[in-house]
């Protein structure tokens, strides 16, 4: 108990200190290794010195890392445990990180937890957030707390401010509130991956990043854009865009100048910016991607997240995850095969692996048919010892079939199928050490 209080006091002091610096109006703070930043400065217009970017020459579907995300959901008695919101969070993360060719993807850790505590439902930014973020922590993943509201109340002031999210650099955890923009979690995880706000320090002359990309620091040859703001030269210097952008993503601060008298020309679409309408944000720059990949390469768990290591094959989720529950089932379209897999999740040293042995899919039958409806299931590379397939119609179990030694295509038929929504649960009964892919297909 005493330790808890010491820690609490410590983190309150830290958060006060961070806010008292030049971080006014900031949600979060992060530190970047300056040594690395200099390595990713462009050599010329097209080339980057960054070894990771050159090495991978990333294309749209390249995936270098898949990072498990563990959610801690603070709830009260009224909210239901509905994992479909978690699937949405993961899908938006993967959307923003794939359209920008980052090589980074995320998967849902199946051991997410619901915490039933009324008084934490609206989490206090100063007192409760750092403490909870330190407490709700699992290893080998990104920990994300979901609260209903994240509230910041200034001391000696009754004014309340609501926050969409925050990243705590000490606990390395993320907290987000509900009903936020689709890009908020990507922004906070951007901080986890080493990124800072492009407007960092703009209000303070000493810290301000100049608009010019060529201005150098006094008494040194280093470029100012490498040393100030987010320390990246391919993200333009900008003011906090909350006040200076309209709802349609246009910049409205045309008369705002940096301390050298140059007008700002910001990018209103950068995920790390504070664009007023947060839905405008959808971009990471090349240097931001390079920095994220670098931060990952230094993360002690990243070797378990890397996709090109043979031993990690067993950790790779399929493209339809998370789908461990009926609520997170993936739609199966007629005559369109899907390849799914069962996989395990690394949970840290001396910890038991977590297994994902259940998949849910659903399909909609628009009209009742008088002939049988056939579901096909086959293994892809290896044979399955045993699978259990359950089919539900309107929450009622209508068929259950155990499949053993699946080496060729198996058929499951539903006779005289009525129109409606069908759910299929596919369970792996006997664990195998091999890759566990299967193909599922429904014929109309």
Q: Which residues bind Zn ion (CB under 5 A)?
A: 27-28
Which positions ≥6 away from 137 have C-beta within 8 Å?
143, 171, 173
Under 8 Å between Cβ of 265 and 220 = no
Query: In this complex, which beta carbon is closest to Zn ion, that of residue 27 or of residue 323?
Result: 27
Query: In this complex, which beta carbon is closest to Zn ion, that of residue 149 or of residue 421?
Result: 149
Residue 82, judged by CB atoms within 10 A of its CB (0-12, 13-18, 19+), counts as: middle
Compute the distance between CA of residue 27 and CA of residue 175 in angstroms, rounded to an integer: 11
Query: In this complex, which beta carbon is closest to Zn ion, that of residue 27 or of residue 267?
Result: 27
Query: In this complex, which beta carbon is closest to Zn ion, that of residue 184 or of residue 341?
Result: 184
Smallest distance, Zn ion to C-beta of residue 30, A: 9
Smallest distance, Zn ion to C-beta of residue 197, A: 6
Backbone angles phi, psi at 438, to 5 degrees: -140, 160
Q: What share of the chain is helix, strand, coil (3-state, %, to 5)?
A: 20, 30, 50
Ramachandran bin of 361, using left for φ above 0, alpha for ψ from -120 to 50, beta for the remaining angles: beta
Under 8 Å between Cβ of 56 and 102 = no
Query: In this complex, which beta carbon is closest to Zn ion, that of residue 64 or of residue 174?
Result: 174
Among 173, 126, 168, which Cα is nearest to 20's?
A: 126
Query: In this complex, which beta carbon is closest to Zn ion, that of residue 200 or of residue 314?
Result: 200
Which positions ≥6 away from 13 have C-beta within 8 Å?
none
Smallest distance, Zn ion to C-beta of residue 362, A: 37
Smallest distance, Zn ion to C-beta of residue 27, A: 4
CB neighbour burial string for 345-361, b if at least 16 within 10 angstroms, e if fewer: bbbeeeeeebebbebbb
Query: In this complex, which beta carbon is closest to Zn ion, that of residue 164 or of residue 442?
Result: 164
Among 193, 149, 128, which Cα is nearest to 167's?
A: 193
Tokens of 54: 């050159």
Smallest distance, Zn ion to C-beta of residue 190, A: 8
Query: In this complex, which beta carbon is closest to Zn ion, that of residue 230 or of residue 258?
Result: 230
Query: In this complex, which beta carbon is closest to Zn ion, that of residue 125 or of residue 384?
Result: 125
Smallest distance, Zn ion to C-beta of residue 26, A: 7
Residue whose token pair is 């938006």: 92
Compute the distance between CA of residue 262 and CA of residue 84 in angstroms, rounded to an integer: 47
Smallest distance, Zn ion to C-beta of residue 227, A: 20
Smallest distance, Zn ion to C-beta of residue 181, A: 12
Smallest distance, Zn ion to C-beta of residue 182, A: 15
- Secondary structure class of 252 (helix, strand, coil): coil
Compute the distance between CA of residue 236 and CA of residue 57 in angstroms, rounded to an integer: 23
Query: In this complex, which beta carbon is closest to Zn ion, that of residue 238 or of residue 321?
Result: 238
Smallest distance, Zn ion to C-beta of residue 105, A: 21
Tokens of 9: 């006091």
Q: Which uninterrupted H or E stretch holds 263?
A: none
Question: What are the strands of the beta sheet with 149-153, ordered from one edge?
Answer: 122-124, 149-153, 160-163
């Amino acid at each position: 108990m005493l330790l808890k209080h010491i820690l609490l006091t410590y983190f309150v002091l830290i958060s006060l200190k961070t806010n008292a610096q030049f971080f006014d109006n900031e949600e979060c703070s992060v530190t970047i290794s300056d040594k690395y930043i200099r390595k990713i400065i462009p050599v010329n217009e097209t080339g980057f010195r960054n070894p990771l970017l050159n090495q991978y020459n990333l294309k749209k579907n390249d995936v270098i890392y898949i990072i498990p995300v563990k959610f801690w959901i603070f709830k009260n008695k009224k909210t239901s445990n509905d994992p479909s919101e978690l699937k949405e969070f993961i899908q938006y993360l993967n959307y923003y990180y794939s359209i920008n060719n980052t090589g980074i993807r995320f998967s849902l850790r199946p051991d997410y937890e619901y915490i039933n505590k009324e008084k934490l439902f609206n989490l206090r930014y100063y007192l409760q957030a750092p403490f909870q973020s330190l407490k709700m922590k699992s290893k080998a993943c990104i920990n994300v707390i979901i609260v209903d509201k994240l509230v910041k109340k200034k001391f000696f002031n009754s004014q309340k401010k609501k926050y969409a999210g925050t990243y705590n650099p000490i606990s390395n955890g993320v907290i987000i509130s509900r009903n936020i923009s689709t890009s908020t979690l990507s922004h906070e995880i951007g901080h986890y991956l080493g990124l800072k706000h492009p407007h960092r320090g703009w209000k303070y002359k000493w810290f301000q990043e100049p608009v010019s990309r060529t201005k150098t620091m006094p008494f040194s040859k280093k470029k100012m854009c490498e040393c100030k703001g987010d320390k990246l030269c391919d993200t333009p210097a900008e003011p906090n865009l909350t006040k200076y952008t309209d709802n349609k993503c246009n910049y409205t601060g045309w008369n705002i100048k940096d301390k050298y008298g140059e007008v700002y020309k910001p990018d209103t679409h950068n995920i790390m910016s504070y664009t007023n309408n947060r839905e405008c944000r959808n971009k990471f720059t090349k240097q931001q991607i390079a920095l994220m990949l670098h931060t990952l390469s230094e993360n002690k768990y990243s070797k378990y997240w890397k996709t090109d290591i043979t031993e990690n094959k067993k950790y790779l989720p399929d493209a339809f995850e998370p789908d461990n529950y009926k609520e997170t089932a993936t739609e199966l379209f007629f005559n369109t095969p899907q390849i799914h897999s069962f996989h395990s999740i690394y949970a840290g040293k001396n910890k038991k692996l977590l297994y994902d042995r259940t998949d849910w899919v659903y399909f909609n039958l628009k009209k009742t048919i008088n002939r049988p409806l056939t579901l096909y299931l086959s293994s892809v590379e290896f044979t399955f010892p045993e699978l259990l397939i359950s089919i539900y119609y309107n929450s009622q179990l209508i068929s259950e079939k155990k499949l053993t030694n699946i080496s060729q295509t198996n058929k499951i038929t539903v006779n005289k199928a009525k129109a409606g929504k069908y759910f299929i649960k596919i369970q792996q009964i006997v664990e195998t050490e091999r890759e566990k892919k299967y193909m599922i297909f429904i014929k109309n």
